């Protein structure tokens, strides 16, 4: 069934930072929404690229060789294998697109690793 998705409505359903929810599926990828605040953790994804589109706020992605700042309406693609750490100084809303197999903590498994459910 083809339907429109209201991102504002879906974002109201997110109650935890760094816990993305699936809002769509395209080919072998999920589209996910997340609210971010504070620091995440250094990690990388062995085989999956990550797409970050900032809907609200400003996101810093620390890389080993410098930082990338993404403002509202901007996106960045982090290639697989690149170690990174997202930081949200204030609450940030993002749309992520990544292969269905992508784990939020990449090569790390710890208490921040979460299962992603549909919103």
- pLDDT tier at 114 (50, 70, 90 boundaries)? confident
- Judged against a pLDDT cut of 90, whether residue 112 lies above it is answered with no
Spatial separation of the C-alpha atoms in residues 106 and 70, rounded to whole Å = 21
> Do residues 44 and 107 touch, judged by C-beta distance below 8 A?
yes
Q: By percentage, how much of the chain surpasses pLDDT 70?
A: 100
Per DSSP, 7 falls in state: H
12: helix, strand or coil:
helix
- Give the pLDDT mean for 23-50: 96
Which top CATH class is 7-100? mainly beta
The domain ranges of the chain are: 7-100
- Give the pLDDT mean for 8-33: 96
- Give the pLDDT mean for 36-63: 96
Spatial separation of the C-alpha atoms in residues 77 and 117, rounded to whole Å = 23
């Amino acid at each position: 069934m083809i339907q429109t998705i209201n991102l504002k409505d879906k974002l109201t359903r997110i109650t935890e930072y760094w816990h993305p929810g699936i809002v769509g599926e395209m080919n072998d990828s999920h589209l996910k929404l997340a609210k971010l605040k504070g620091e995440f953790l250094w990690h990388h994804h062995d085989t999956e690229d990550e797409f970050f589109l900032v809907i609200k706020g400003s996101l810093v992605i620390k890389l080993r060789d410098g930082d990338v700042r993404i403002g509202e309406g901007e996106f960045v693609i982090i290639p697989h294998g690149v170690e990174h750490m997202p930081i949200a100084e204030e609450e940030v809303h993002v749309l992520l697109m990544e292969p269905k197999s992508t784990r939020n903590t990449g090569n790390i498994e710890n208490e921040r690793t979460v299962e992603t459910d549909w919103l």
